[in-house]
Amino acid sequence: MGGLVQDLRYAARSIAKAPGFAAVAVLTLAVGVGAATSMFTLLDQVVLRPLPVKEPRRLAQLRWEGSWCCSNTGSAAWTYPLYEDLKAQTGDVFEEVFARYNWPASFGHGGETVRISLEMVTGNYFQALGVGAALGRTIGPDDDVHADGHPVAVLGYDFWQERFGGRRDVLGEKIQVDNREFEIIGVAARGFRGMTFQSAADVFAPSKMKPALSSGWQSSYNLTTRVSRWINVFGRLRPGMTLEKAEAALAPVFARLVEAELQDPGRQDMSEFGREQFRKATLVVMPGFQGPRNVRDKLETPLWLMLGMSGLLLAIACANVANLLIARGAARQREIAVRLALGVGRGRLLRQLLLESLMIAGGAAAAGLLLAQWTTRFLLLMLPNGADGVQIQAEPDLRVLAFTIGVAAVTAVLFGLAPGLQALRVQPAETLKSQGGSIAGGNFSVRKVLVGAQVFLSLVLLAGAGLFAHTLLNLQNLDPGFDVEPNLVFGIEPAQNGYTAERQQALVRELRSRLGALPAVEEVGVALVRVLSGNEWDNNVKVAGYEAKDGESLNIHFNAVSPGYFGALGIPVVEGRDFNNADRGEKMSVAIVNEKFAKYFFQDRSAIGRIFRLGGDDDPPIEIVGVIPDVRYEGVRDDIPRQMFVPYDQASFANLAEVFVRTSGGDPVRVAAGVRQIMRELDPLVPIFDMRPMTVQLAQSLSTERLIAFLAAAFGLTAAGLCAVGLYGVLSYSVTRRTKEIGLRLALGAEPWQVRRLVAGEALRLFAVAAVFALPTAFGAARLVESQLYGIQPYDPTTLLAATVLLGAVAWLAGYGPARRAARTEPMQALRFE
Amino acid sequence: MTDSTLIRLDGVRKVFYADEIETHALSGIHLEIRRGEFVSIEGPSGCGKSTLLAILGLLDTPTDGTYELNGKLVTGLTARDRARIRNREIGFIFQAFNLIGDLTVFENVELPLTYRDLGARDRKEKVMAALERVGMSHRLKHYPAQLSGGQQQRVAVARALAGDPQILLADEPTGNLDSKNGEAVMDLLHELHANGATICMVTHDPRYAAAADRSVHLFDGQVVEETAGRRAAQEVG
């Protein structure tokens, strides 16, 4: 123990003696550790970390896999009656089956109305998760028995802190949620933010209060329908039960449920083929320890990719520091020789050297943690809606801390071992004698291998960065098919304030009319679904005269839009007519389709006047009155779907109004104040949400791609920078070590340019050798992430060439300084000790 | 200066400045070396021998005075021109041999030739001829570390000879060798001299100095005495 303390003291003194070296080593390593820690912070919270609930690994999510006949909010959704069936029939597999669904709601308190994230939960939700209350109580089974019968709410801890200042007397206070009065009964435990990663719950309400909540879509997605599924179902597995066992045990139960579903009146007009497909559905029991995974799944590959890239950056930093240590080791050869001569064992010496490495790594870990925190905060701002609502904390917790310490320890061994072992190869007798008669040349393979590895990794990273940047550029340059620049878009959801469909349509008409009168506004249109928002609405259609083949998908993307919508977005009606104010009524009667729809169903014949129906033959006919060109819908990356548009004033179910305001040029935000003023005048209690220029909407739709491209570029350029530092260091060391040789060459008649070529050539040779290995590796790596690319091949020669040229230029620049210094060597100075 | 004069120094001074202190390394040196002559430069440590040799080898420039090599004034030349003259007209032999450890014997000897516009075949011919002259052609692929000190110095001599220089400048060529190897290297130099080479050698060993045609004695940067060497004396005698 005493020896260890002595070694620690020695290591600390040794580092203190070379503060410049220590600072460079710590900072270099901190860049790598910081990048890896930041990526781990994101990956951990998005992909790895379980929910902060009791025994999260015993949570399972149930998923319907296979054909579903009717409306849904995703394949992880269930109808409420099916949830109740599952709860009643799966008791031997699950201790509890519970359900939840989150939805943006309007929240009114103290005369102010804001939009919040509401989580509707079944009465056993908190109990099943083992989450208690920080104040008051949570929602219990007795709070979720009768439809619309339990207007009680639990506040999220953070929401309670932000909105109510953490007041402990909030219990019993009344709040308005979607125009219904609720009583606060408690505050959820600190740290628990609901089950949805991308949207932390502000308020929890009983699921049986659904009729009072989200009234806009209540008509079709309700507590009794068996055709529209919306709620996510989870179960807590009984002890000893695995996901596989649960799935096997539930298969017969599920088969019975499917048969029962087919008897539902809402499925009576299903075709035999449709029934067969329906029967093929299976129940999948998925891990539920992280809640619904849709957004997590979307981000998982990019985040692993980024962690991998940061790992490469860390490896480059390690190689850099290892090189520094080797150089320092060479300078310390005599000191090491003396210590060995005095009888210090090589093992003990190695321990001393590794302790120095650990101290450097410790410093790097501390600096890296700080860097990671800043980086993560910055990266969170790049997420689609900034950091709002996303359950990611930039501050390191114990897991992150453990990761950083682990990484630092491993890197300490990685960068410290090779230089340590090399230092131990010192032969005391020879080292302490004067040197022999030949001059050391430029061959010092370990350092060159390390720099070669840096070049190799940097080129792989740069090539990756190039491909991702190219992908982003391709997507940004993609024409969405409509005008983006002049538009401002915002949303309102009057249904949450108790508006009926008719009142809402009247409000929207008035809003359009008054906005259209603003001086800078050219056109105003309204849609149910905001384009490029990642949302869509789809449904099956039955087109008159079109015989569908078995298994053919007749799923069409829909939107409900007002007159002026196409004009606001600059989308021409190429055949037929646009919607007008006469297109009103309770039933949808007319539609506009895109060219893809028209061509699919009618080939070269005109689509105008054609009839189709939503659902079966009994549904009302809808006549196509216009055709527009193909335009993008969910996002720019997605293929353009077959689309149809119905009049907003005929869509009684349209709970949302996404308003597009086309301005006469300049920054569309300048009309924002006018928009807010008009909305306040029309109804001050209806909040405006997500107001932004369409350019921002477009940019946000590419936020994942931008995040990847940004990080890849940052990693690539940092890697190139570290590589330049590494190359510079090695070449400088090489020039210093070869001063005598260079002096000799000059004495023998070498001209300065020949010496410059000699040194710079060394950098370029190292670069060339590394590039030969790096380019195929970059290609192979790019193939692994091909799904993240768009409009570019993994072997894109332009990108690979650009990365090579860029790094080649960096190598040349890194070599230029030492080459210049070498060429200025005075032969007499170099050979002075003759 | 006669046609046979290869080197002529006239009033050469060299002053070093360090920390505002002037050090007069050479003070008004007048020296002539004829073609085919073997001149040794003697003197105690710090007398300016190596500085003189560096100026003769165009590794350094005089502060004052003129230097003519082969009839051409070489003071005031650019670094590039000096490099060319060093490469083509001067061969260096160093006390510590100064072979490059990473290069083979062949590559070491070839090194000065790589700075000329010579094809590989011509270079090889010259390298082989030089190594033949010093008796080291059987060690082409060896590295310096695999040779004895005497052998290393023979390779260094071959390197100096390979470019067919006008003059060989040797700085204590036996300083790092034992007496037997030292004798062998001196024999080699005498053999080269006998075959017409012009040699200027710095040494502090009176035995080797005496073996030259002429010895120039330096003291405090000045030529204080010139004596005919034993060999010259024997020839005169």
Instruction: Give the model confidence (pLDDT) of A411-453 as tens digits.
Output: 888 888 877 777 777 776 666 554 445 565 555 577 788 888 8
The single residue listed with the structure tokens 């998908």 is A553
Q: Is A627 helix (H, G, I), strand (E, B) or coil?
A: strand
Q: How far is the alpha carbon of B84 from chain A, nearest alpha carbon, in Å?
A: 6
Where on the phi/psi map is residue B220: left (φ > 0), alpha (ψ -120 to 50), or beta? left
pLDDT, mean of residues A153-157:
96
State the pLDDT at residue A198: 73
Mutate to test the interface with A, among B14, B55, B102 (most CBs of A within 10 A): B102
pLDDT, mean of residues A683-695:
88
List chain B residues with CB under 8 Å of A831: 59, 94, 98
Q: Report CB contact under 8 Å: B152, A831.
A: no
Q: Report CB contact under 8 Å: B144, A438.
A: yes
A99: β partners: A233
**Rg, Å, chain B Cα set:** 18
Question: Do B43 and B6 touch, CB atoms closer than 8 A?
Answer: no
Higher per-residue confidence, B47 vs A342? B47
Q: Which two tokens stand for residue A566?
A: 């196409």
**Residue A830 banded pLDDT, cuts 50, 70, 90:** low
Q: Does A741 touch chain B (CB under 8 A)?
A: yes
pLDDT, mean of residues A677-694:
90
Rounded to 5 degrees, what are φ and ψ at B122?
-65, -40
- pLDDT tens-digit series, residues A587-619: 778 999 999 999 999 998 999 999 988 766 667
> Which of B116, B113, B117 shows the shortest CA–CA distance to B128?
B113
Q: Any alpha helices (H) in A382-436, and if so which ranges?
A: 398-424, 428-432
Looking at the predicted structure, is the pLDDT value of residue A180 above 90?
no
Question: Do A456 and A773 touch, CB atoms closer than 8 A?
Answer: yes
**Least confident stretch, A17-26, A156-165, A401-410, A798-807:** A17-26
> Which of A169, A192, A172 shows the shortest CA–CA distance to A181?
A172
Question: Do A488 and A648 touch, CB atoms closer than 8 A?
Answer: no
List chain B residues with CB under 8 Å of A437: 96-99, 144, 149, 152, 176
Rounded to 5 degrees, what are φ and ψ at A385?
-115, 35
Mean per-residue pLDDT of chain B: 87
pLDDT, mean of residues A167-171:
94
Q: Report CB contact under 8 Å: A828, B83.
A: no
- Could you tell me what percent of chain A has a pLDDT over 90? 37
The single residue listed with the structure tokens 């999220």 is A156
Nearest CA in chain A to B160: A748
Q: Which two tokens stand for residue B146?
A: 């695999």
Q: Does B144 touch chain A (CB under 8 A)?
A: yes
Among A437, A441, A747, the residue with its CB nearest the CB of B102 is: A441
- Residue count of chain A: 834
Q: Which two tokens stand for residue A304?
A: 């692993």
Q: How far is the alpha carbon of B232 from chain A, nearest alpha carbon, in Å?
A: 29
Among B54, B99, B159, the residue with its CB nearest the CB of A439 is: B99
Looking at the predicted structure, is the pLDDT value of residue A534 above 80?
no
**Residue B231 banded pLDDT, cuts 50, 70, 90:** low
Q: Within its chain, how far is the Cα of A720 from the centroid?
A: 25
Looking at the predicted structure, is the pLDDT value of residue A343 above 80?
no
Q: Report CB contact under 8 Å: B83, A439.
A: no
Measured between alpha carbons, how far is A507 from A714 in angstroms, rounded to an integer?
A: 48
Mean per-residue pLDDT of chain A: 86
Single-letter residue type at A493:
E
Q: How far is the alpha carbon of A809 from chain B, nearest alpha carbon, in Å?
A: 27
Q: Any alpha helices (H) in A624-749, and if so which ranges?
A: 672-682, 694-701, 703-737, 739-747
**Residue A391 banded pLDDT, cuts 50, 70, 90:** low
Beta strands A657-663; A622-628: pairing state: unpaired
Q: How far is the alpha carbon of A753 from chain B, nearest alpha carbon, in Å?
A: 9
> Which of A540, A645, A550, A510 shows the shortest CA–CA distance to A267?
A540
- pLDDT tens-digit series, residues A51-100: 999 999 999 999 988 777 666 666 678 989 999 999 999 989 999 999 99
Tally Cβ neighbours within 10 Å of residue A260: 13
Among B83, B88, B144, the residue with its CB nearest the CB of A746 is: B83
pLDDT, mean of residues B86-98:
89
State the pLDDT at residue B1: 46
Measured between alpha carbons, how far is A747 from A771 in angstroms, rounded to an integer?
A: 35
**Widest distance between CA atoms in chain B:** 53
Measured between alpha carbons, how far is A348 from A344 in angstroms, rounded to an integer?
A: 7
Of the ranges A292-306, A719-733, B151-165, the best mean pLDDT one? B151-165
The single residue listed with the structure tokens 């900034």 is A386
Measured between alpha carbons, how far is A156 from A187 in angstroms, rounded to an integer?
A: 6
CB burial string B58-83: b at 16+ within 10 A, e below: bbbbbbebebbbeeeebbebeeeebb
ipTM of the complex: 0.84
- pLDDT tens-digit series, residues B116-134: 888 999 999 999 999 998 8
State the pLDDT at residue A434: 44
Looking at the predicted structure, is the pLDDT value of residue A677 above 60?
yes
CB burial string A647-682: b at 16+ within 10 A, e below: bbbbbbbbbbbbbbbbbeeeebeebbebbeebbeee
State the pLDDT at residue A428: 65
Question: Do A557 and A633 touch, CB atoms closer than 8 A?
Answer: yes
Mutate to test the interface with B, among A438, A444, A828 (most CBs of B within 10 A): A438
pLDDT, mean of residues A228-238:
91
Measured between alpha carbons, how far is B176 from B169 in angstroms, rounded to an integer?
A: 16
How many beta-carbon pairs below 8 A join chains A and B? 80
State the pLDDT at residue A72: 61
Measured between alpha carbons, how far is A443 from B92 in angstroms, rounded to an integer?
A: 24
- pLDDT tens-digit series, residues A193-223: 999 877 889 999 999 998 888 655 555 678 8
Looking at the predicted structure, is the pLDDT value of residue B237 above 50?
no
Beta strands B214-219; B38-42: pairing state: parallel
Measured between alpha carbons, how far is A233 from A121 in angstroms, rounded to an integer?
A: 10
State the pLDDT at residue A220: 64
Provide the strand spans (E) within A55-212.
59-65, 77-78, 94-109, 112-121, 133-136, 152-155, 174-177, 180-188, 203-206
